[in-house]
Amino acid sequence: MSQNGKPKVAFFDFTSCEGCQLTVVDSLQDHPDLLAAVEIVQFREAMSEKGEDYLVAFIEGSCTRESDEARLKKIREQASIVVALGSCAHLGGVNSLKYLHPLDEVRRYVYGDQADWYDTYDVRPIEAVIPVDFVIPGCPIDRQEFISAVKALLLGKKPFIPDYPLCVECKLKENTCLFTRGKVCMGPVTRAGCDAICPTYGQSCEACRGFISNPNETAMRDVLTKHGLTVEGLTSMYTMFTTYQVRETLLQRKNANE
Protein backbone atom coordinates (compact mmCIF):
# COMPACT_ATOMS: atom_id res chain seq x y z
CA MET A 1 0.00 0.00 0.00
CA SER A 2 1.37 3.43 -0.77
CA GLN A 3 1.00 6.37 1.56
CA ASN A 4 -2.13 7.55 -0.13
CA GLY A 5 -3.73 4.19 0.65
CA LYS A 6 -3.74 3.10 -2.96
CA PRO A 7 -2.41 -0.35 -3.70
CA LYS A 8 0.77 -0.32 -5.74
CA VAL A 9 0.64 -2.31 -8.93
CA ALA A 10 3.28 -3.09 -11.50
CA PHE A 11 3.12 -4.41 -15.03
CA PHE A 12 5.73 -6.72 -16.46
CA ASP A 13 6.18 -8.09 -19.91
CA PHE A 14 7.73 -11.27 -21.19
CA THR A 15 7.45 -12.74 -24.65
CA SER A 16 4.30 -11.24 -26.12
CA CYS A 17 2.96 -8.71 -28.57
CA GLU A 18 2.30 -6.27 -25.71
CA GLY A 19 -1.27 -6.03 -26.89
CA CYS A 20 -2.56 -6.78 -23.42
CA GLN A 21 -0.61 -3.89 -21.90
CA LEU A 22 -1.96 -1.79 -24.71
CA THR A 23 -5.43 -2.92 -23.75
CA VAL A 24 -4.70 -1.78 -20.22
CA VAL A 25 -3.78 1.64 -21.61
CA ASP A 26 -6.94 1.54 -23.71
CA SER A 27 -9.02 0.78 -20.67
CA LEU A 28 -8.11 4.24 -19.40
CA GLN A 29 -10.23 5.73 -22.15
CA ASP A 30 -13.37 4.59 -20.42
CA HIS A 31 -11.97 4.38 -16.92
CA PRO A 32 -9.56 7.25 -16.30
CA ASP A 33 -10.41 6.81 -12.62
CA LEU A 34 -8.24 3.69 -12.68
CA LEU A 35 -5.30 6.01 -12.06
CA ALA A 36 -7.05 7.27 -8.94
CA ALA A 37 -7.74 3.78 -7.65
CA VAL A 38 -4.28 2.26 -7.90
CA GLU A 39 -0.74 3.54 -8.01
CA ILE A 40 1.15 2.17 -10.97
CA VAL A 41 4.81 1.87 -10.06
CA GLN A 42 6.13 0.06 -13.10
CA PHE A 43 4.87 -0.13 -16.66
CA ARG A 44 7.79 -0.15 -19.05
CA GLU A 45 5.73 0.22 -22.16
CA ALA A 46 4.17 3.43 -20.89
CA MET A 47 6.44 4.96 -18.28
CA SER A 48 10.05 5.56 -17.28
CA GLU A 49 9.63 5.55 -13.51
CA LYS A 50 10.39 2.24 -11.89
CA GLY A 51 9.34 1.21 -8.41
CA GLU A 52 10.31 -2.09 -6.91
CA ASP A 53 7.74 -2.03 -4.18
CA TYR A 54 4.43 -3.38 -5.40
CA LEU A 55 1.55 -5.41 -4.09
CA VAL A 56 0.05 -6.65 -7.31
CA ALA A 57 2.06 -7.76 -10.32
CA PHE A 58 0.35 -8.09 -13.68
CA ILE A 59 2.47 -10.22 -15.93
CA GLU A 60 2.10 -10.28 -19.67
CA GLY A 61 3.83 -12.76 -21.93
CA SER A 62 5.09 -16.31 -21.85
CA CYS A 63 8.22 -17.66 -20.32
CA THR A 64 10.38 -18.66 -23.26
CA ARG A 65 13.86 -19.04 -21.91
CA GLU A 66 15.57 -20.02 -18.77
CA SER A 67 16.64 -16.48 -17.90
CA ASP A 68 12.97 -15.48 -17.68
CA GLU A 69 12.55 -17.82 -14.76
CA ALA A 70 14.75 -15.82 -12.40
CA ARG A 71 12.94 -12.61 -13.26
CA LEU A 72 9.60 -14.28 -12.67
CA LYS A 73 10.68 -15.63 -9.32
CA LYS A 74 11.84 -12.20 -8.25
CA ILE A 75 8.48 -10.74 -9.12
CA ARG A 76 6.77 -13.52 -7.21
CA GLU A 77 8.84 -12.81 -4.13
CA GLN A 78 7.89 -9.16 -4.13
CA ALA A 79 4.23 -9.32 -5.12
CA SER A 80 1.47 -10.50 -2.82
CA ILE A 81 -0.77 -11.07 -5.80
CA VAL A 82 0.40 -12.24 -9.19
CA VAL A 83 -2.02 -11.95 -12.07
CA ALA A 84 -1.33 -13.54 -15.45
CA LEU A 85 -2.41 -11.08 -18.09
CA GLY A 86 -3.56 -12.54 -21.37
CA SER A 87 -3.18 -15.69 -23.32
CA CYS A 88 0.63 -15.73 -23.54
CA ALA A 89 1.02 -15.58 -19.77
CA HIS A 90 -2.03 -17.70 -19.04
CA LEU A 91 -1.60 -20.45 -21.63
CA GLY A 92 1.66 -19.97 -23.44
CA GLY A 93 -0.59 -18.74 -26.19
CA VAL A 94 0.38 -18.27 -29.76
CA ASN A 95 4.06 -18.46 -28.77
CA SER A 96 3.79 -22.15 -28.12
CA LEU A 97 3.10 -22.70 -31.80
CA LYS A 98 6.83 -22.40 -32.16
CA TYR A 99 7.30 -26.00 -31.13
CA LEU A 100 4.39 -27.35 -32.99
CA HIS A 101 5.94 -30.06 -35.05
CA PRO A 102 4.39 -33.07 -33.43
CA LEU A 103 1.03 -32.67 -35.06
CA ASP A 104 0.59 -36.34 -34.44
CA GLU A 105 0.46 -35.74 -30.74
CA VAL A 106 -2.21 -33.16 -31.00
CA ARG A 107 -4.15 -35.54 -33.13
CA ARG A 108 -3.81 -38.06 -30.36
CA TYR A 109 -4.98 -35.50 -27.87
CA VAL A 110 -8.04 -34.86 -29.88
CA TYR A 111 -8.61 -38.56 -30.25
CA GLY A 112 -7.99 -39.27 -26.63
CA ASP A 113 -4.79 -41.34 -26.91
CA GLN A 114 -1.56 -40.73 -25.12
CA ALA A 115 1.54 -39.37 -26.72
CA ASP A 116 5.28 -39.12 -26.43
CA TRP A 117 6.68 -35.66 -26.15
CA TYR A 118 10.21 -34.65 -26.63
CA ASP A 119 11.81 -32.68 -23.89
CA THR A 120 13.10 -29.20 -24.58
CA TYR A 121 12.97 -25.80 -22.99
CA ASP A 122 9.59 -25.03 -24.29
CA VAL A 123 7.46 -21.94 -24.28
CA ARG A 124 5.38 -22.08 -21.15
CA PRO A 125 2.73 -20.16 -19.29
CA ILE A 126 4.04 -18.38 -16.23
CA GLU A 127 2.09 -20.69 -14.00
CA ALA A 128 4.53 -23.39 -15.05
CA VAL A 129 7.26 -21.36 -13.34
CA ILE A 130 5.68 -19.52 -10.42
CA PRO A 131 2.35 -19.79 -8.62
CA VAL A 132 -0.24 -17.48 -10.13
CA ASP A 133 -3.13 -16.17 -8.07
CA PHE A 134 -5.43 -15.03 -10.81
CA VAL A 135 -5.67 -15.10 -14.54
CA ILE A 136 -7.18 -12.62 -16.93
CA PRO A 137 -7.46 -14.68 -20.09
CA GLY A 138 -7.71 -13.69 -23.72
CA CYS A 139 -5.69 -12.63 -26.73
CA PRO A 140 -5.87 -9.83 -26.08
CA ILE A 141 -7.49 -9.46 -22.68
CA ASP A 142 -10.94 -7.95 -22.55
CA ARG A 143 -10.85 -4.39 -21.27
CA GLN A 144 -13.98 -4.75 -19.25
CA GLU A 145 -12.80 -7.96 -17.69
CA PHE A 146 -9.53 -6.30 -16.74
CA ILE A 147 -11.33 -3.43 -15.02
CA SER A 148 -13.68 -5.84 -13.25
CA ALA A 149 -10.73 -7.86 -12.05
CA VAL A 150 -9.03 -4.75 -10.68
CA LYS A 151 -12.21 -3.86 -8.84
CA ALA A 152 -12.50 -7.35 -7.42
CA LEU A 153 -8.91 -7.24 -6.19
CA LEU A 154 -9.50 -3.85 -4.61
CA LEU A 155 -12.55 -5.22 -2.85
CA GLY A 156 -10.75 -8.32 -1.70
CA LYS A 157 -12.68 -10.85 -3.69
CA LYS A 158 -11.63 -13.22 -6.39
CA PRO A 159 -12.04 -11.83 -9.90
CA PHE A 160 -14.89 -13.52 -11.67
CA ILE A 161 -13.66 -15.42 -14.69
CA PRO A 162 -16.34 -17.62 -16.22
CA ASP A 163 -15.85 -21.35 -16.32
CA TYR A 164 -18.54 -22.15 -18.82
CA PRO A 165 -18.45 -22.36 -22.60
CA LEU A 166 -18.43 -19.42 -24.93
CA CYS A 167 -21.74 -20.57 -26.47
CA VAL A 168 -23.45 -19.14 -23.39
CA GLU A 169 -22.47 -15.63 -24.37
CA CYS A 170 -22.80 -16.30 -28.07
CA LYS A 171 -26.45 -17.26 -27.64
CA LEU A 172 -27.15 -14.13 -25.65
CA LYS A 173 -25.64 -12.18 -28.53
CA GLU A 174 -28.19 -13.88 -30.77
CA ASN A 175 -25.51 -14.90 -33.22
CA THR A 176 -26.41 -17.47 -35.78
CA CYS A 177 -24.19 -20.33 -34.76
CA LEU A 178 -21.16 -20.65 -37.03
CA PHE A 179 -21.77 -24.37 -37.27
CA THR A 180 -25.03 -23.63 -39.05
CA ARG A 181 -23.17 -21.18 -41.31
CA GLY A 182 -20.87 -23.90 -42.54
CA LYS A 183 -17.95 -23.02 -40.29
CA VAL A 184 -16.56 -24.65 -37.18
CA CYS A 185 -15.92 -23.06 -33.83
CA MET A 186 -14.18 -23.82 -30.55
CA GLY A 187 -16.92 -22.12 -28.58
CA PRO A 188 -18.35 -25.23 -26.90
CA VAL A 189 -15.11 -26.00 -25.06
CA THR A 190 -13.72 -22.50 -24.69
CA ARG A 191 -13.96 -20.39 -21.57
CA ALA A 192 -16.44 -17.55 -21.98
CA GLY A 193 -15.81 -13.97 -20.89
CA CYS A 194 -15.03 -12.17 -24.16
CA ASP A 195 -18.71 -11.78 -24.94
CA ALA A 196 -18.20 -14.17 -27.85
CA ILE A 197 -16.58 -11.38 -29.80
CA CYS A 198 -15.18 -13.56 -32.61
CA PRO A 199 -18.44 -15.34 -33.50
CA THR A 200 -20.18 -11.98 -33.18
CA TYR A 201 -17.84 -10.65 -35.84
CA GLY A 202 -18.30 -13.70 -38.00
CA GLN A 203 -15.17 -15.65 -37.12
CA SER A 204 -14.67 -18.95 -35.39
CA CYS A 205 -13.58 -18.91 -31.80
CA GLU A 206 -9.95 -20.05 -31.65
CA ALA A 207 -9.93 -20.70 -27.91
CA CYS A 208 -7.65 -17.84 -27.00
CA ARG A 209 -9.12 -17.89 -23.49
CA GLY A 210 -8.26 -21.53 -23.04
CA PHE A 211 -10.52 -24.45 -22.34
CA ILE A 212 -13.15 -24.65 -19.63
CA SER A 213 -12.13 -26.90 -16.78
CA ASN A 214 -14.60 -29.62 -17.64
CA PRO A 215 -14.93 -29.77 -21.43
CA ASN A 216 -16.78 -32.61 -23.09
CA GLU A 217 -13.94 -33.53 -25.41
CA THR A 218 -15.55 -36.54 -26.97
CA ALA A 219 -18.73 -34.74 -27.83
CA MET A 220 -16.75 -31.81 -29.17
CA ARG A 221 -14.72 -34.04 -31.43
CA ASP A 222 -17.91 -35.61 -32.74
CA VAL A 223 -19.41 -32.21 -33.45
CA LEU A 224 -16.31 -31.02 -35.27
CA THR A 225 -15.97 -34.12 -37.37
CA LYS A 226 -19.66 -34.15 -38.13
CA HIS A 227 -19.16 -30.69 -39.55
CA GLY A 228 -16.54 -31.92 -41.90
CA LEU A 229 -13.36 -31.10 -40.06
CA THR A 230 -10.46 -33.26 -41.09
CA VAL A 231 -7.83 -34.42 -38.67
CA GLU A 232 -5.54 -31.61 -39.87
CA GLY A 233 -8.28 -29.10 -39.39
CA LEU A 234 -8.98 -30.38 -35.91
CA THR A 235 -5.35 -30.21 -35.01
CA SER A 236 -5.07 -26.70 -36.19
CA MET A 237 -8.18 -25.69 -34.24
CA TYR A 238 -6.80 -27.16 -31.07
CA THR A 239 -3.40 -25.54 -31.25
CA MET A 240 -3.74 -21.90 -32.12
CA PHE A 241 -3.42 -20.80 -28.49
CA THR A 242 -3.58 -24.01 -26.53
CA THR A 243 -0.66 -26.11 -27.74
CA TYR A 244 0.83 -26.11 -24.27
CA GLN A 245 -2.42 -27.25 -22.62
CA VAL A 246 -2.93 -29.99 -25.14
CA ARG A 247 0.59 -31.25 -24.48
CA GLU A 248 0.19 -31.09 -20.74
CA THR A 249 -3.09 -32.96 -20.80
CA LEU A 250 -1.51 -35.62 -22.93
CA LEU A 251 1.46 -35.92 -20.64
CA GLN A 252 -0.80 -36.26 -17.64
CA ARG A 253 -2.82 -38.92 -19.35
CA LYS A 254 0.32 -40.71 -20.30
CA ASN A 255 1.63 -40.61 -16.75
CA ALA A 256 -1.71 -41.71 -15.38
CA ASN A 257 -1.59 -44.73 -17.64
CA GLU A 258 1.90 -45.73 -16.64
Partner 1 sequence: MSLTILQKSELSDFIHRLMPHYRVVGPVESNGGYAFDEIADPDALRLDYPTTILPPKKYLLPPRETLFKFDRTNGGYLEPAPQDRPTVIFGVHTCDLHAIQLLDAVFSTGFPDPHYLERRNRTLIVGIECLRPCDEHSFCKSMGTLTAEEGYDLHLIDLGDAYAVDIGTSEGHDLLGLYASTTPAKPGEMQRLNAVISEKWPKFPYRLEFDVSDLPSLLSLSAKSPLWAELGERCLACAACTNVCPTCFCFDVKDEIELDLRRGERVRIWDSCQLDEFATVAGGHNFRKSRALRQRHRFMRKGKYILEAHKHLGCVGCGRCARACLVDITPVGVFNELYRQQEAGSTL
Partner 2 sequence: MNKRIDVHHVTRVEGHGNIVVEIEDGRIKECRLDVVETPRFFEAMLRGRPYQEASHITSRICGICATGHATASLRASEKALSVEPSEQTQLLRKLTFHGEILDSHVLHAYMLVAPDFLGVGSVIPLATSHPEVVLRALRMKKLAGDICAVVTGRHTHPIAMCVGGFTHFPKPAELENLHQRLVAARADVDETVALFATLHWPQFERDTEYVSLTKPDEYAFIDGEIITSDGARLPAEAYRQVTNEHLVTHSSAKHTRHLRQSYMVGALARFNNNYPQLHPRAKEAAATLGLKPKVTNPYLNSAAQVVEIVHCVEDAIAIIDRLLERGITSEQPAPVKAIPGEGVGVCEVPRGLLIHHYWIGEDGNMTGADCVIPTNQNLANLEADMLALTPLIAEKPIKTMQLDLEMLVRAYDPCISCSVHVLEVEPK
Partner 3 sequence: MTDELQIFLPEMARIAQIEQLTALEKLFTIELPAGRSLDHRPGQFVEVSFLGIGEAPISISSSPSRSNGTFELCVRKAGDVTGALHRLMPGDRIGIRGPFGHGFPIEHFRGKDMLFAPGGLGLAPARSLINQVLDERAQFGRVIILYGARTPSELLFKDELKRWGERNDVELYLTVDRGDETWDGHIGVITTLFKDISINPRNTVAVTVGPPVMYRFVLMELLGKGIPEGNIWLSLERRMKCGVGKCGHCQINNIYTCQSGPVFSYRDIKGLEEAL
Binding site for ligand SF4 (CB under 6 A): 138, 166-167, 170-171, 175, 177-179, 185, 187-188, 190, 194, 196-199, 205-209
Q: Decide: is 157 part of the binding site for partner 3 (CB under 8 A).
A: yes
Buried b (16+ CB within 10 A) or exposed e, 212-224: beebebeebbebb
Q: Which does 218 bind (CB under 5 to 8 A by kind): partner 1, ligand SF4, partner 3, none?
A: partner 1
CA distance 238 to 124: 17
Window contacting partner 2 (CB under 8 A); options: 71-79, 146-154, 166-174, 194-202: 194-202
Q: Decide: is 216 part of the binding site for partner 1 (CB under 8 A).
A: yes
Phi-psi region of 149 (alpha: psi -120 to 50; beta: other; left: phi over 0): alpha
What is the number of residues in the chain?
258
Q: How many residues in the shown chain lie near partner 1 by CB under 8 A?
A: 37
Q: Which residues contact 228 (CB under 8 A, 6 or more apart)?
A: 184
CA distance 230 to 142: 31
CA distance 46 to 36: 17
Q: Decide: is 48 part of the binding site for partner 2 (CB under 8 A).
A: yes
Four-residue CA torsion sign, 101, 124, 135, 67: negative
Nearer to partner 2, 104 or 163 (CB): 104
Site for partner 1 in 129-168 (CB under 8 A): 147-148, 150-151, 154-155, 160, 163-165, 167-168
Q: In the complex, what is the shortest distance from the CB of residue 245 to partner 3, in angstroms, rounded to a whole number?
A: 27
Nearer to partner 3, 101 or 157 (CB): 157
Q: In the complex, what is the shortest distance from the CB of residue 117 to partner 2, in angstroms, rounded to a whole number?
A: 18
Buried b (16+ CB within 10 A) or exposed e, 187-208: bbbbbbbbbbbbbeeeebbbbb
Q: Decide: is 158 part of the binding site for partner 3 (CB under 8 A).
A: yes
Q: Which does 190 bind (CB under 5 to 8 A by kind): partner 1, partner 2, ligand SF4, none?
A: ligand SF4
The closest alpha carbon to 162, from 203, 213, 205, 200, belongs to 213
Residues paired with residue 39 on neighbouring β-strands, in sequence order: 8
Q: In the complex, what is the shortest distance from the CB of residue 134 to ligand SF4, in angstroms, rounded to a whole number?
A: 18
Which residues bind to partner 3, rule: CB under 8 A? 155-158
Chain residues that interact with partner 2, rule: CB under 8 A: 13-23, 25-26, 28-30, 32, 35, 40, 43-50, 64-65, 68, 93-95, 97-98, 100, 103, 139-140, 197-198, 200-203, 206, 232-233, 236, 240
